[in-house]
Structure 1
Amino acid sequence: MASKAAEFYRSVRQTSAKILSMGETQISREYSMVKVHWGATFEKTGNKLVEFDVTYFIQKTGTEPKIIMFIVHQDEERAMKELGLLG
């Protein structure tokens, strides 16, 4: 899934992405919810930072934490169309 997401963001010419803030809420010993406030730039938007929120549900049962589900808080497709990133 991560490789498909990376491919999509390359196709809309994303030039950078960074975490602006992050907060974790422990659900149990094995699971947590992490809300991330992202900032991204795209070729078409220049230096204008596009900000959005994503909440990730993380499973911590193996050697590496795994994202088992995520929720994007904005209508990403509509926002990208408004920015002229999608046709």
Structure 2
Amino acid sequence: MAIESKASTTRQRKIDKSELIKDVEPYPDAYQKERAERFGVCQKAIWQALKKLGLTYKKTLRHLKGVMLISGVRGFGEGGVSC
């Protein structure tokens, strides 16, 4: 009796990454909850997708809600406030 391996398949995702990026561009200061409502998913799914894409939420004094920035990993002392 031999164990056979299953063919790997890619899971169907609810959030299309390219659509999420298109949503961030016109609405950089939208709350994750607002994005979740637009995509029909929970807020945690949006948080996880943004994290995987390297999109971070940076608070500034210019905007009430903040600004979404596409950035790499930043250390402390490089300016800005990290959440």
Which has the greater radius of gyration?
Answer: 2
Do both proteins adopt the same fold according to a TM-score greater than 0.5, normalized to the shorter chain? no
- Greater strand percent: which structure? 1
- Greater helix percent: which structure? 2
* TM tier, smaller: under 0.3
The normalised TM-score by structure 1 is 0.26
